[in-house]
Structures are given as structure tokens and as C-alpha cells.
Structure 1
Amino acid sequence: MQLHNRQISENISHENVDDSGRVDVIQIDALLGAARRQWIVVAICIACAVLVGVAVATTSVPLYTATSKVLMDRNTNQVVQQLSAIGSVLDDESSVLSQVELLQSETIGLAVVDKLNLSNDAQFMADQSSLLGSVVGFVRSVVNVSQWFSTQEESSAAIEAKRRSALWRVLKNVRVTRVGRTYVLEINYTSPSPELAARIANGIASEYLVDKLNSKFDATRRASVWLQDRIDELRQKAMETDLAVQKFRSANGLVTAGNALVSDQQLSELNSALIVAQSDSAKAAAKLDGIQKVISAGQSDAIVTDALDSSIVNEMRKKYLAASKLESEISTRLGAQHIQAIRLRKEMEEYRRLMFEELGRIAESYKSDLAIAKARETSLQDSVAQATGVSAVANETQVQLRELEREAETYKNLYQTFLQRYQEAVQQQSFPVTDARIISNASPPSSPSHPRKMLLLAAFCVVGAGIGTGIGAFREFRDRFFRTGEQVRDILGLEFLGIAPLMNDGLRMSDNAAESNPRSIRKATEVTNYVIDHPLSAFAETLRSAKIAADLGISEKECKVIGVVSTLPGEGKSTVSINFAELLASQGSRVILIDADLRNPGATRAIGRHAQEGLLETLLDGKSPKDCFLYNARTGMAFLPAVVKHRVPHSSELLSSVAMRKLLSTLSASADYIIIDLPPLGPVVDARAMASRIDGFVYVAEWGKTARRVVRQTLDTEPMIRQKCLGVVLNKVDQEKMNLYRSYGSTEYYYSRYSEYYQEKT
């Protein structure tokens, strides 16, 4: 859980996890807190930016912008298009934007410079800055003097340089925009002189129209010259190709009748006749086949078309049917063997024989018709084959003929087209119509357009606010110190015991409060006795929280050995140790305070300045600790100082020695609490060496000064101290600034309500 909290604090510090587990992407409280903390930086940046903006606004030369408008006239464009398709302007987006670029081109700019003689206009060539303008004017006068002695070539080069300089100024100050989605182009020119701005804006519009006319005239003139050469060439080509077609026809006998060759017409007619002959042959063959099937089958009832047309067959058939009917009646009444029935059956056989003889004669006529149709078909096939060969040869030759005809037709069409274009180009040279016109001339503006002071100040305010916000964000990002109890829990995974605030009179909970002068000594005494003088203060409540943590965390021991440590020197651990021991003693407990910081004994300097003997004498010389104790008259607390008369290089060995273990064992028999002021963990290893002798640690971190990373790294390298750590006390807390780091629902947020139970002064 501690590792999870630490990961949330380090990796998603901009996210807020509420009670339901939902993660808010934007931590509004953190943003508001950062704004409260950094508003002074932002305000200073805005004030500086406003001052700079005021200076810029008051010192800038006023500039005037004159505007003229040009319309891309579509009606005129249609008239021109009717006259010629050359030089017209299309009404699409790209064409309009191209006209914008043309208005800002060097061609128009140089034309305006030459027309208005801007290169020799002192007002135009002067710089906008008065001081810089004076310097430039002086340099220009020196150059003009030097030109008196120069050659003609050098003078021409100087004139061209002045033209280019004037062109650069024109192009720098001109701006052409399209008005919405219309065909109106707005020409804006900015200058310190309103009259000059109007003159140049109108000059650009006028020269634009002149350039349009000149470009169209040049285009039509060049087109006319080119078209004339092409027309002469095409005329000759058209005559040559037409003559080649006629010669080819005569040489290959390609005689035409109408739009087709004679051989093709003959082949078409023969094919038609062949189709008819083939149809006749098929019809004759079908008739012959049908009548032969009837004859071979002997079916007298079969119907043959040509047999029905025969009077003989029809007569025989009628007689046959009449005899058949009579024979059927007699056979029914008198019997099949009656003499009349037999006679009638013989007549029927005769009639049938006569009908088939007639059908045979009809079949012979069908054979004759089929032979005639076949002969005609064969003759036509021979004629078609002969005509096809002639036509194939003619078609092969006609391929070349058609190619010659296409070439001749192409040259003929090109000649007519170019001749028409040439006539249009000649007409357009004398037709001065352009597809643009001026719809609004520029007039000298009455008020300057730059600088816009309010807008400039607003822009500087925005820039200042942006810079201030960036600096504030950087400061917030670089704030790597402990500010709240939540940071202690999330980053270190330890219990937060409370805060030790700054004193109202400016005293700080530090280890070096005592100095040699009396005033410093008096202040040090007030600090070391603070919990006694202010038992209802927030500091006293923090130390009571540490006592409860010790009682609950080390409940199995009669005498609790508590070490007070910090990461860096000067974080106030000695002051916390003294006040913690005095608080415990004031509550009736037997308390012994030991100053184990043999390198920098801050507790001894604070409350044992006149001691002659202490911890070193007890460990090294075997003196009784009771002979070295200093007692607090108000609380009865026993204090074993560290009187360092010379440097002790082996302090860690002393603290982890057997003598130190025996000393703690001896003192435990006569005390309820032993408070040990240990050296800081960062610079020395003394506290690590003595960690096994300590039942619990109270960790002191300076608010707003000690980096979170160094504390976390120190505890990560000291697992025994982390395991035995009772909690963390934030020392030297500026309560007014701490309010800026509060978030909704945190301990700091309700601190103003907690303070009703605190009383800093008695």
C-alpha cells in the first residue's frame, strides 16, 4: 500500500483519487493552490510587461494605413473572353490568390517606386525611429558626397541600390487581402505619413491595372507574331497533304462513287444476291426433302403445299375420300366381303396410286429447281470471292489513303483555327479592356492604425501572464520539499505525527539557536522550554502524538528508547528532542535525554552549555552517568550532555559499543523514556550504528527546505530505521504559507478549525 501511494504521488501527481476510487484528470484544488502560491510572481511579470508595453506604446512612431480596393470584374472578363481566350483571368480561388501575389510583386513595386520617385523622397526613405533615422540620413549624406567624385558606373549602381531599398520598403509595408469570398482585393499600405500612405496605395492599384493592360498587350502581340509564323507553315502543309491524297487516289485506282469505292459497292451487291440465292437453294432443298419423305412413307394423308395446288391430286383425293366413305358405309351394313365393298377398295388403291405418281412428277420439278438454285449460288460465290479479293487489295491501299486524308484534314483544321486566333489577337491589340477596376481610392487616414495602444497593452499583459505562469509552473515543478502531511504518507509511507510551527516572535525550531550573546541565549531558552510554556500549542500536540505513537508501537517494553533523527543538519531535531523529553517529564514520566550527536551536540549547546562532563566521559572513562546528569528544575528531566573537547573520529564505534549498550541498560532501570538526540542520517553513520539499540525513531524534516527525494533515499538505505520509525514531524512550518498548500478534505484544510483547541501563548 505504501509503494502504491508513493507511485501515485510520483507518477500521476496531477490526478486526484476520490473516496470511490475514481481518478479525476484535473486536480482543481492543486491548480487553485498553485495559483494562490504563485500569484505574486504572475502579478510581477504582468506589471513588468505592462511597463514595457507602456514604454513601447509611448515611444513608437504612429503609423497610418491607407486602403484602396480593386474589383476583379467578371462582367468585363466575359466581354474579353468573347473577343479572345488569351489573357483572361479565371474566377477560381487560385487565380484570385495569384492576383494577390501579383499586387505584392517586385514588378508592381518597382513601377510604383519609379512613378512616384520614391527613391529620392526623403520622407519615404527616412527610418521610423528618429535616432536611427538621423544616423541613416547622415550616412546617406556621406554617400551622396562620395558620389560627387565617383564615376558614372558607380552612380548608376548607387541609383539601382536606392531603387532596391525603396522597393524593399514598399513591399515591407504593403498588405493585400481578399475581402471575404468576393472578388474584391484590399490594398493596405502603412507609413508614418498619411498622405504618403494614400499616394502609395493608389499608386499600387493604378500600376496593377497598367500592368494588366501591358501584360495582355504583350501576350497578344507575342501570340500574333507566333501565330503568323504558324499560319504560313500550316498553309503550306495543308496544300502539300491535300495534293498527296489526290495523287495517291490516281496511282492506285481508288475510284469512288459517292462516299464509297466502286469495288466496295459491287461486293455489297454480290453479297446481297448470294444471300438470296442461298435462301432459294435452301427452300428448294426443303421442299424436295419434304415430298420425298411423303412418297417414301406412302402416307396419302400427308400435306404437301405444291400437291394441294395440283388439280389432278386434288381430284384424285376427292374421289379417294368419297370411295372411302362409301366403302365404310357398305362394310358397316353389308359386311366387309360384300362385292361392292371389295370393288370400292380397289378403286381407292387406284386413286392412291395416281396421287403418288403425281407427287413423283412434283418431286422431279423440285429437283430441277434445286439444281438451278445451286448453280446460281455457285456462280455468285465465285463472283463474291473475286470481288472480295479486289476489295481486300483496295482496303489495304485505302489504309494509307485514310492516313493521308487524316493528316490533310488535321492540317486543314489547324490552319483554320490558327487563322481565327490570329484575327482575334490582332483585334485585341487595339482593345484596351482589363478584367479589374478600382472601386475605392485611398484617402489620407485621420487616425493612426499603429500602435493600437490598448491592444498592445492587452497583448503585453497576456505575454506577461504567460511568462509569469510559466515561471510559476516551473517553481511549482521544482518544489521538491515536504509541504503537507499527505506528502509524508504518500511518499515515505510513514505516519505523519504533526507540525512544529514557526514561533510568533520569529524564533525557529533549529539546532543552532544559542549563540554567545545574551539575547540569543534568552531566545534559545524560550525555544527549548516552548512546550512547557505553551502546553496547549500545536507543537505540544504534535509531541503528544509522538508519545502516543511510541506507547502504541513499543508497548511491550517498560522503558522505551526513542531516537530523534533527521536527514540533514539544521532541521531542528535537537530542539524537538529537548521539547519532547520535557513534555514527557511534565506528564509525570521519568525521562532521560541523551545528546548522542558527538560531532555537533546541538542539545548540549542549547541546555547544557556549562557542562564539564557528559556522554564521552561515561563511555570512555567509566564515570557514573548520574554524576554527569543535568536536571531541569521545572520538569525534573535528566539530561546527559555531550561535552566535546576535541574531535571524535570514532563516534559511530562509541555509540555501537558495549559500553553504550550497558549505559542504556543501566538507565532503563530508572527511566520510563530515554530520548536520544542522534546525529543526522545524511552526513554520518552514527545513527545507523546505534539503530539496533533504539526501540523507535521520531523523524524530523524541515518544512519547505528538505527535499523529498533525499529523505526517501535515506530511508530506503536504512531499512531498520524505516521499520522502527514511529512517524515524521514537519519542523519550522510557516502556517500562513502552509495554507496555500491545503487541499479540500486534508488536515491542513481544517487547520483553522483545529486551532480553536490550540493556544500558542499562555
Structure 2
Amino acid sequence: MHRYRAIFPRDLSARAQAGSTFAFPCAGGSSRRCLRRTTMFASPLIDPLSSRRVLPFACTVLAQREDATLMLDRPVESRPPADKRPTLRTPVPVAAPIEPEGMTVTALIAALRRRRWVLILCALLFPIAAWVAAKQLTPRYTASTTVMFEPTDYAARELQSILRDETTTDAVLASQVEVIRSLSVARRIVRQFDLTNNDEFFWWAGEAKRVETPLYRWSDALARRLNSISPSLAVLVAPEPPAARPPEERAEIAAAEAVRDRLQVAVVRNSRVLTVSFTSENPRLAMEAANLASELYISDQLETKFNAVRRANDWLDGRVGQLRQELGQTEARIAELRTSSGLTRGVSAALSTEQVSKINSDLVDSRNILAMAEARLAAARSGGGGADMTALGASNLVQQRAQRDTARADLERLSATLGANHPDVRAARSRLQDIDRAVGSETGRVVQALDAAVREARARVRSLEDSLRSQEARVNQSQTAEIQVAALEREAEASRTLLRAVLERSQQTVSQTAIEKPDARILSPATMPGTPSFPKTMLMVIAATVLGVVFGLLVIWFLEQSDSTLRSGEEIRAGLGLPCLALVPMLRRGLLGRHRVEDYVVRKPLSPFAESMRTLRAALWLGSEPPRVVVITAARPGEGKTTTSVALARSAAMNGERVLLIDCDVRQPSLGRVFRCEGAPGVTDLLLGQAVLERIIRRDHLSSLDYIPAGAAEIHSLGLFMSEAMAGLLDRVRRDYDLIVLDAPPALAMADARVVARLADATLLCVRWRDTPRSVVRNSLGLLEEAHARVVGAALTQVDAKVHGRSGYADAEVYHPRYGGYFRE
């Protein structure tokens, strides 16, 4: 008798009674057919947690072996014909990845919640570092004096270039600022407080202290010892000798430049108030230097005014003497000119003017007479008409000219009729010649008379012109003298006026010296500062906090941009185009206690972990074509695929399904460790024909799950999975089980996973939460697609419930405390 353990169909096991007898056909060939009388002792398996009959009946079959071999004893070495091989499943088309939306406020808040510790760390480290740095810095103190700039209104009109009053503008106030910060003021501060021997303002002062430091002494001693061995090495080790002190003038200027850097002057907005501040490591020095700078500025102003008034007095005194001298010289010239020109005020000038007028009148008449005489003379010489000659007193000449004209006419008439040699013609020509001689003699007499009259008129005109010129010269000389005298008198009067004005201004400047005041006054002197102005610890801490927050936000942004892992179901759908079937929570050590992760679904059936397995099973069952053979794989090791496979199989078995779990990860088998059956025969032994199916199927000690371990490690596992024996095994167990789960190796590096996934109804891809890069998952998914695997979805494994619950993703809602009443840990 042999004892066999078998799983019967649900309808048979449900009707099984203790002591029932069944008949089984024997698979030994046609000549060896027989019927076995089998007695079944049926006993239902009870769930140890719920005490409910949830598992199918397990039957113990007692059979008496005969010559024939039972079908259950046969090893799976006979393979189905090629035409009976199961058809390969058409892979589910993988949807195109969904482009993620832009950064929204919700996504930003969620990212801040996920990376809040980075932000908190940066917001704490930066101010702490700033506070520590502030404590390491040497404190400096700043003392301030306020000065009011009030320019006086006094300014002499002649001294505007020296004491000119200017309107107080921004340019004027800026000039006063530069006056206070001038090098002359800084040098007097240096001399007052002997700052050339203060290393705060004069770096040469610290050279003597550097020689006394232990580091300098040690370096110098080491260099001296090395000098006898290696002079070049001694030069490298020897400390730099202290710099020689520069000349006093240069040292004072250098210290003054340092003082100018510490001396700050600012104008209070919309006012004429100047704030004079000085910063030093010594608070008393800061106070005294600020007050001294203000006092020097005011005293310099007053001294400048005194010097200007003094120079003005000297100039006015010199100008008074010069004006007096010029006035005396002008009056002397006036007296001398009157004496030389014999001017008597008013009389001589009037007389000379009357004489000139009379001479001018006579001259005009004479010129008219001359013009008439010249006209008659010209008419006489040109042989003018009779009327003109009569007017000139030459009537005989007129008659003679008329006779000449008559004789010429007779001659022309006789010549025309008688000829040129006719006696009458010769007589007429002779008579005409006599008349011409008489006309010529008379014309000469008249012209001589007229010429004498013209010469007489010209002499008269010349005489009058000479008299006029003489009289005009005398008048002009008299007028010139009067003009010069008038000009000199005006000049003398101007000099007298200017002298009086200068004398008045001189008296005013003398009185101004006694009442002069500076253009500025001290409103409030500097007091000794009680707190340092640098470093401003609180301000630095606040600024560092803001900088830390900004830096933390940048780090968070960088981490979010550089994080290529998958953190939620939304990212799986967006990045891979696959549905996220479940979020498998991570079980921490404190939550597990003494339990193992694989046993947690059985030990805690109402936990979130068990609920995620039920969610995964429901997602597989609710599909359009519920798969019976499911391959569970991952992109790389450590993704939690074995844990998911075991937990899913146990969860389905606890729900009343007939489930078979097969370990297809031959190179690194895990089911042997989980179920404590290392070294037991398994699927490789079956595929090699070294074992039968019934001997390698084992029952889980916590549930009704059946499982097949990997068996002996075989380097040619790919050939085994590609064989017809593997297809026949799946076709055989498909008839006996509701769900077959295949734990496959990683799909990215192992070809076994792709071969097994092609034979299965569906493939589930496990992705470790916030660990596996998207590129790795996409690459493995591409390999599965090339193998025509039907990838139905993905599962996020090892999800930190607390972290994910605060992430802000939509699927993090399942970890909200409001659902706590549905779970029992």
C-alpha cells in the first residue's frame, strides 16, 4: 500500500465523505487498464486564525498497487504532441507613457513634504554656521556724531568769490561729506591718537608681534638647522622676515587711508544733517575719533572764514589807497587841461560857434556866384545860342554870328548854281571869311571877360574856406578840451563813489571778524557704543536662515529633478504606461516581531500588507481576461518579487482558491529558504525527467498553498524553460489549479524571465519604491515586450507607509489614519 496526497476538483472534494470510495482509471496503456477501488478519508482543513472552513478538502488516498502504474505516479516525461502545445498568449499592448503635468502648487507642496528634512537641515545648518562664524570674528564698534550744516547769509558784494553764499543742494552736501573725509582730517586724527603704532590701522605695527609667535620661532629654528644640511630647503622652510617700517610720512599716510576707510559720513535724507561715524575695535577710540572728526570739520570751517575775512580786509585797505591815488591824479589832469586850453566855462564856445555860422553862409553865396560864372564861361567857349550871349553882354557877337550864317548860305547857293570859280562865288567866299575873323575876335574878348569873373569868384571862395577851416579848428580844439575835461570829471566822480563804497565794506568786514561763526554745528556728540556694530549676529543668522531655506529649496529641486525612481502609482502610469495594481507596504523589523515577511499575510490577515495582496489579486481577477498563470518578475534583484509571489499565492489560497507557486528563479532560488525545503527536488528535476510532478509538489504549512521549489541548480535553465516539457507542465497544472504563480528571475539580466513570461497568461512587474530607476524599468519592460509577454501592470514594493502617506500623491490616501479602523496589525 502506498499513501498518496492529491488535490481533487472542488466539486468532488466538496461531496467527499469519510470512507467514500472512488474509482480511478489507471494510465498504463490499453492492456493495463484497471479500476482502482480507493478509499478516501476526507477531512476539511480549518483556518487556524479564523476557524472557518475556507480551504479545499485534502484527501488521503489509499490504493493498493498492482502491476499497473497509477497516473499520479508517472513522472512528467511524456510530452504532448506538437499540435497539442498551448498557444502563446498575445501580449497586452502597453500604453504610451503619459506626459506628466507641469509643476503645480500641490506637487510643489508634496515635494516639500517628502524632502522636508533636507529643508529643515539646511535651514538649521546655515544659521548655526553663521552664528559660529560671527562668534569667531573680532567685534567692531561704531560711534556716530550728528552735525547740522547751516551756511551763514553774510557775503560782501565785492567778495562773492571768497565768501559767496550758495544754496544748500545735494552737491553742496556731498562736498561737505568729502571735506569731512579728507586726507588732512584723517592725518590729524592719526597724529592725535598715534595710530601709526596701532596694528588695526597700520599693518606694519603687527610685524613685531609676528616675530614673537611660536610658529615663527619654530620655523626660524628649523631653517637654521637645515641651513647646514640643505640651504635651498632652509630657504623654503624659513619664515618671511618682518617688513621694515616705512618712513614716518608714508606710515602716516597709510594709517590715514585706513582711517578714511573707517570714517563714514552720510546725509540724512531730505535734511541738512550729516552723520559722522567711525568704526574701530576699541569703542572709546570710535567715540573719540568721531567727535574729533566733527570738531576738526567745524574748526576748519571757522578758520577758513577767518582767513577769508583777513584776506578781504587786506585787499580792501589796498584798494582804498589805490582809489585815493587815482582820484588825486584825475583832479590834477582836469586843472591842467583847463589851464592849457584857456577854457572859460560857456562864453568862448558860444562866440566861436556864431562866427563859424556866418562864414558858412558867406561861403555858400560865393560858391553859387562861382558856379554861375563858370557856367557862362563854358557857354561862351562852346559858342552857345544868341540868348545866352545876350545874357552874357555880347550882343555884337550875336549879330556877327547871324551875318556869318547868312553869308554861308549865300555861298552854298551860288556854288550850287554858278560853280566854284565864278566871281560871285569867290566874292561870297571872301565876304564869309571876313565875317569869321570878326566873330573870332569878338568871341575872344567875351571869353576873357568871363574868365576874369570866374577867377575872382574862386578867390572869394578860397578865402572864405580858409577862414572857415581856421575858425573850425579853433572851435574843435575848444570842444575837445571840454570833452576831455567832462570825461575826467566823470571819472573823478566814479572814483569818489567807489572809494566811499570800499571804505564802507572795509568797515563791515572789520566788524564781521568779531561776529563770524562756522557753517555747521554739532547736534549730538558721539557716545561710547555698548554693542558691536559688526558682526550683526542676529542679522547674519536671519540672512543665513533665508539663504539656508533658499539653498534647501534648490537642493530639493535638484533631488527631485535627479530622482529617476518611481514613487507612486501616478508616476508608474505616467512613466511606464502601466497600471499600478498595488502598493505593497514595507514591513519594518519592529512591526514584524518574530514573524517573517513572507508569513505576515497569514499571521496578520487584516493588516495593510495583506490588504495590498488582496488588492493585487482583485486587480488580476477583475481584468477582461482573468489570467490563470501569472509571472511575477522585476527589473533587478532585491525588488521584493519573491515576497510578493509568496504573499500573493498565500492570500489567494486563504481566499479559497487552488493556488500553485512555482520557483522559476533557478540560479538564486528563494522558495526553498522561505518554506525551509532547501535541496528538495523541484521544477528543474521535473523538466529534466528526473522527478514526477506529484513528488515535487509540496504543501505550505500555514495555508493550503501548493508550491514547487526550483530544484537542482542548472546552468542550462533557459533550454529547460524553452522546452516542450515546460509548456506541458503549465498546460497540465492549468487544469488542476485556479491560479499558478511563477516566481521568475529579474527580467533585465536573465533571459529565463522573458521565456517564462511568454508562456504565461499575464506578467506582473515588481518595482521597488523610490529605488529602481525608471530607465532600468523601461529597459526591462522593453525586453518583456520584445518577448511578447502580456504585462498587465506593475506593483510598487517596499513602500514606506508613513513617508508615502505624507508625500501628497493621490494613492497615498490609503495610508491615511482615517482608514485605521479597517486594519489590524
TM-score between both structures, scaled by the size of structure 1: 0.58
Distance 2:283 2:554 in 1: 41
| 1:561 is the counterpart of 2:638 | no
Equivalent in the alignment of 1:660: 726
More helix by share: 1
Question: Which deviations, in whole Å up to 9, do the C-alpha atoms of 1:727-752 show, x marking residues without a partner?
Answer: 32222222222222135x65526632
In the alignment, what sits opposite 1:689? 755
Q: Does 1:729 align with 2:795?
A: yes
Task: Give the Å deviation of 1:88.
Answer: 7.1
3-state DSSP of counterpart to 2:657: coil
In the alignment, the residues of structure 1 paired with residue 168 and residue 570 of structure 2 have an alpha-carbon distance, to the nearest angstrom, of: 68
Partner of 1:548: 618
Q: Is the 8 A contact 1:202 1:441 kept in 2?
A: no
659, 662, 672: which one pairs with 1:591?
A: 659
Distance 2:118 2:762 in 1: 43
Q: Does 1:618 align with 2:686?
A: yes
Mapped contact 2:583–2:612 kept (Cα < 8 A): yes
Deviation at 1:621, TM superposition (A): 3.7
Distance 1:81 1:543, change over 3 A: farther
- The 1:739/1:101 distance shift into structure 2, 3 A limit, reads farther
Structure 2 counterpart of 1:748:
813
Match of 2:764 in 1: 698
SS for the counterpart of 2:645 is helix
Tell me which amino acid in the other structure corresponds to 1:6.
Answer: I
Give the structure 1 partner of residue 648 of structure 2. Answer: 580
| C-alpha contact (below 8 Å) 2:802/2:815 kept by paired residues | no
Q: 1:202 aligns with which of 286, 291, 296?
A: 291
**How far does residue 563 in structure 1 lie from its aligned partner after superposition?**
0.6
Structure 1 equivalent of residue 74 of structure 2: none
When residues 160 and 726 of structure 1 are mapped into structure 2, their CA distance, relative to the original with a 3 A threshold, is farther
Q: Pick from 271, 288, 298: which aligns with 1:182? A: 271
How many residue pairs match? The answer is 514
Q: Is the 8 A contact 2:784 2:791 kept in 1?
A: no
Tell me the secondary structure at the aligned position of residue 698 of structure 1: strand
The residue matched to 2:251 in structure 1 has which SS?
helix
In structure 2, runs of 5+ residues without a counterpart are 1-92, 217-242, 312-497
Displacement of 1:68: 1.9
Partner of 1:488: 572
The aligned residue for residue 109 of structure 1 is 186
**1:501 aligned partner:** 585
Residues 1:84 and 2:150 are matched in the alignment: no
Q: Aligned partners of 1:82, 1:7: CA distance in 2, in Å?
A: 86
Greater gyration radius: 2
Distance 2:723 2:157 in 1: 111
| In 1: Cα distance, 2:651 partner to 2:746 partner | 22
Instruction: Report if aligned partners of 2:765, 2:791 keep a CA contact under 8 Å in 1.
Output: yes
Give secondary structure in 2 for the equivalent of 1:683: coil
- The normalised TM-score by structure 2 is 0.54
Distance in 2, Cα, partners of 1:705 & 1:663: 35
Cα distance change of structure 1 residues 708 and 160 upon mapping to structure 2, 3 Å threshold: farther
Give secondary structure in 1 for the equivalent of 2:766. Answer: strand
Q: Which one-letter code corresponds to 1:443 in the other structure? A: A
C-alpha separation in 1, matches of 2:721 and 2:299: 101
Shift of the 593–98 alpha-carbon distance from structure 1 to 2, 3 Å rule, reads farther
Identify the residue that residue 49 of structure 2 maps to in structure 1: none
SS at match of 1:690: helix
Give the distance between the partners of 2:597 and 2:146, measured in 1 at CA. 82
> Taking structure 1 as reference, are residues 447 and 720 closer, same or farther at Cα in structure 2, changes over 3 Å only?
same
Paired residues of 1:715 and 1:722 also in contact (CA < 8 A): no
Question: Post-superposition shift, 1:562?
Answer: 0.5
Q: Does 1:602 align with 2:670?
A: yes
Separation in 1 of the partners of 2:197 and 2:687?
A: 100
In the other structure, the counterpart of 2:709 is: 641
Alignment of 1:11-50 (within 5 A): 12=102, 14-15=103-104, 26-27=105-106, 30-49=107-126
Partner of residue 823, structure 2: 758
**Quick one: which of 528, 531, 539 aligns to 1:448?**
531
Q: CA offset at residue 101 of structure 1?
A: 4.5
| SS state at 1:67 partner | strand
- Cα 1:3–1:99 shift into 2, 3 Å: farther
Determine helix, strand or coil for the equivalent of 1:528: coil
Alpha-carbon RMSD across the aligned residues, in angstroms, is: 4.6
SS of the residue 1:541 aligns to: helix
Contact kept, 8 Å, 1:209 with 1:434, in 2: the verdict is no
- Select the residue among 675, 699, 702 that pairs with 1:631: 699
In structure 2, relative to structure 1, the CA distance for the partners of 1:505 and 1:67 (3 Å cut) is: closer
For 2:606, the aligned partner's letter is L
The one-letter amino acid paired with 1:547 is: R
Q: How does 1:243-392 map to 2 (within 5 A)?
A: none
Code of the residue aligned with 2:574 in structure 1: it is D
- Identity across matched positions, percent: 29
Partner Cα separation in structure 2 for residue 595 and residue 183 of structure 1: 92
Match of 1:64, as an amino acid? Y
Q: 2:823 corresponds to which letter in structure 1?
A: Y
Is the CA contact 1:608–1:641 (under 8 Å) kept in the aligned structure 2? no
Give the 3-state SS of the residue equivalent to 2:688 in structure 1.
helix
Instruction: Name the amino acid aligned to 1:177.
Output: A
Q: Deviations over 1:352-373 (max 9, x none)?
A: xxxxxxxxxxxxxxxxxxxxxx
How far apart, in 1, do the equivalents of 2:653 and 2:814 lie? 32
| Alpha-carbon distance in structure 2 between the residues aligned to 1:106 and 1:657 | 100
Deviation (angstroms), 1:206: 4.0
- 2:813 alignment partner, SS class: coil
Alpha-carbon distance in 2 for matches of 1:565, 1:106: 83
1:527 to 594, 597, 618: 597
The equivalent residue for 1:23 is none
The structure-2 alpha-carbon separation of the partners of 1:636 and 1:749, relative to structure 1 and needing over 3 Å to count, comes to: closer
1:212-227 map, 5 Å? none
Alpha carbons of 1:659 and 1:108: their partners in 2 closer, same or farther (altered >3 Å)?
farther
- C-alpha distance in structure 1 between counterparts of 2:136 and 2:142, whole Å: 19
SS in 2 for 1:706: coil
* CA offset digits 1:172-230 (Å, max 9, x no partner): 322221101212221111223333112221333344456668999999999xxxxxxxx
**In the alignment, is the contact (CA less than 8 A) between 2:94 and 2:791 conserved in 1?**
no
Contact 1:546 / 1:726 at 8 angstroms: preserved in 2? no
User: Displacement, 1:170?
Assistant: 1.3
Letter in 1 for 2:654: S
Contact 2:204–2:245 (Cα < 8 Å) also in 1? no
* 2-structure distance, mates of 1:571, 1:215: 90
Paired amino acid for 2:572: V
Q: Are 1:96 and 2:179 an aligned pair? A: no
Do 1:546 and 1:727's aligned partners in 2 also have CA atoms closer than 8 Å? no
Residue-by-residue CA offset, 1:400-447 (whole Å, 9 max, x unaligned): xxxxxxxxxxxxxxxxxxx9xxx9xx9999999898423335333252
How far apart are residue 578 of structure 1 and its match?
1.1
User: Alpha carbons of 1:218 and 1:32: their partners in 2 closer, same or farther (altered >3 Å)?
Assistant: farther
Aligned residue type for 1:535 = P
What does residue 441 of structure 2 align with? none
- Structure 1's 83 and 39: CA in aligned 2 closer, same or farther, altered over 3 A? farther
Query: Contact 2:581–2:616 at 8 Å: present in 1 too?
Result: yes
> Which amino acid in 1 is paired with 2:100?
I
- Alignment partners' CA distance in 2, 1:460 and 1:67: 28
Aligned counterpart in structure 2 of residue 159 of structure 1, from 248, 261, 273: 248
Question: What letter matches 1:194 in structure 2?
Answer: P
Which residue of structure 1 lines up, in the alignment, with residue 98 of structure 2?
A: 6
Look up the SS of the partner of 2:649 in the other structure. helix
Deviations 1:51-95 (A, max 9, x none): 445545655555332212333434x37748983257876644345
Q: Quickly say closer, same or farther: Cα 1:749–1:659, change in 2 above 3 A.
A: closer
Q: What does the per-residue CA deviation read over 1:690-729, in whole Å, with 9 as the maximum and x for residues that have no partner?
A: 3321211222122232234432443345436897333322
CA distance in 1, matches of 2:736, 2:261: 93
